[in-house]
Amino acid sequence: MAVFKCNNCGNTIDVVTPPETCPSCKQVCEFVDVSCYIPECGGPGSGNINPQVFQESYKSDKK
Ligand SMILES: [Zn+2]
């Protein structure tokens, strides 16, 4: 499982592969893998979010 964030509404979901449409906003949106893969936030398989990746995904929205 990985944690994906909808870049449209910011909803996060725990799935293996992200769906085409977000279950929260019902839009076809880009899902960003924000899973933690480093020990600082729990490591792979923890189901945690990497806060740094999460923040950076918001920054990239504002381009
Ligand atoms: Zn959404």
- Ligand 1 centroid from CA 12, angstroms: 8
SS3 31: strand
- Ligand 1 centroid from CA 42, angstroms: 25
Q: Rounded distance, CA 4 to CA 12, Å?
A: 5
- Ligand 1 centroid from CA 50, angstroms: 19
Q: Rounded distance, CA 26 to CA 41, Å?
A: 29
Q: Rounded distance, CA 2 to CA 33, Å?
A: 7
pLDDT tens for residues 2-59?
A: 999 999 999 999 999 999 999 999 999 999 999 999 999 999 989 999 999 999 887 7
Place of tokens 């992200």: 18
pLDDT tens for residues 34-50?
A: 999 999 999 998 999 99
- Ligand 1 centroid from CA 6, angstroms: 5
pTM for the structure as a whole: 0.84
